[in-house]
Amino acid sequence: MTTNELLLVVGMAFVTFMIRYPMLVLVGRVSLPQPLIDGLRYVPVAVLTAICVPAVLLPQGQLWISPQNPYLAAGILTVLVAWRTGSLLLTIILGMGAFLAWRVLLGG
């Protein structure tokens, strides 16, 4: 790693810390209203959905809803496994296995 890259990484870490630290200090000293706390419980699900749905439905930059879409097939199976089992490890293993198997079967 060159000096410029190291400075870049350290600078990005510093900026990220400085953006988040004041909010953490403030939240630690001020009690938040209950509706805000209730709403914050949905943030992880919303962020994960915002990341995953475009990756599954738009893997080539355009809408691809088809049985030939391995991302969609594996995504559907992954959601079902997570819903039925609640096991993160099993969900990851079966989701990745389904994705790889779908690609092999369809020659992708």
Kindly state whether residue 9 falls inside one of the protein's structural domains.
no
Q: What is the rounded CA–CA span in Å between residue 66 and residue 79?
A: 17
Distances (CA, A) of 20 to 9, 23, 27, 29: 17, 6, 11, 15
pLDDT digit string, tens, across residues 29-46: 888 899 998 999 999 999
Q: From CA 74, how far away is CA 101, in angstroms rounded? A: 9
Residue 95: its pLDDT value, please?
95
pTM over cut 0.75: no
What is the overall mean pLDDT for the chain? 92
Tell me which residue range forms the domain holding 97: 31-106
SS3 65: coil
**13 assigned to some structural domain:** no
User: Residue 85: inside a domain, yes or no?
Assistant: yes
The string of pLDDT tens digits covering residues 18-29 is 999 998 888 878
Low-confidence ranges of the chain (pLDDT < 70): 108
For residue 44 the two structure tokens come to 């992880």
Say if 8 falls within a structural domain.
no
| Other CB atoms within 10 A of residue 63 CB | 10
